Homo-oligomer: A and B are copies of this chain.
Amino acid sequence: MNTLAYALLSFLARRPMSGYDLMLAIQPLWQAKHSQIYPLLAKLETEGHVDYVLVEQKDKPDKKVYSITESGHVALQDWLQQPSGDPIIRDEMVLKLYTLWLGDHASAKRVVEERIAYFRKRLQRLEVTLADVQDEHSEVLTEPDILSPVFTRLKLLERAITTARLELDWCFDFLKQIEQSEKKPR
């Protein structure tokens, strides 16, 4: 059982989904391709942590809708009690920022602007998602309940948005400093 397996169980604990749905839903929290998810779901099924029903569709291809089993719930609960692995960040752009001194002002600008574009896009996506969640679940705002699945989702969304804004601010500050040092060359 790896982390992705628990991630799948966690999503299935919220609602039954197909492997395709899971693949899309899981992206913000744990990047994974369908080629990793489908075999894992099959493995979780043989272990009895999930089961599925084949749902036939007319306009779209048939699908397997997976649900978490009692055994899966136990595994999830157990995982929650275990100590977690440290966060791992693989950010190629940060590595390039670290290497900027090798180049010139123009290439420095390009790297920072690429980063701005990325976080602008990300921030926009996050804000749309937040608005959607708030629309569909107005009750969470008036009566916050930690043990509701929507509350934790909202909290994580807010956190992601604050972080993205911070990253953008940092980039703008950096850009300004680059432009200032361009004006007064040594």
Contact = CB atoms under 8 A, between A and B. Distances in A.
Main secondary structure of the interface of A (DSSP, over half): helix
A102 B89 contact: no
A61 interface: no
Contact of A77 (B3, B29, B103, B147): B103
Contact of A10 (B95, B107, B110): B95
A36 interface: no
Contacts of A108: 146-147
A87 B77 CA distance: 30
B94 A156 contact: yes
Given A7-B95, A29-B98, A145 B186 contact: yes
A6 interface: yes
Interface residues of A, number: 65
Contacts of A124: none
A186 to B, nearest CB: 7
Given A3-B95, A90-B30, A166-B166, A102 B77 contact: yes
A116 interface: no
Nearest to A100: B152
Interface centre among A93, A94, A99, A155 (most CB of B within 10 A): A99
Given A6-B99, A100-B147, 6 more contacts: A6-B95, A10-B98, A97-B155, A100-B152, A105-B147, A146-B178
Interface of A: 3, 6-7, 10, 13, 29-31, 73, 76-77, 79-81, 83-105, 107-108, 110-111, 114, 118, 144-149, 151-153, 155-156, 159, 162-163, 166-167, 170, 174, 177-178, 181, 186
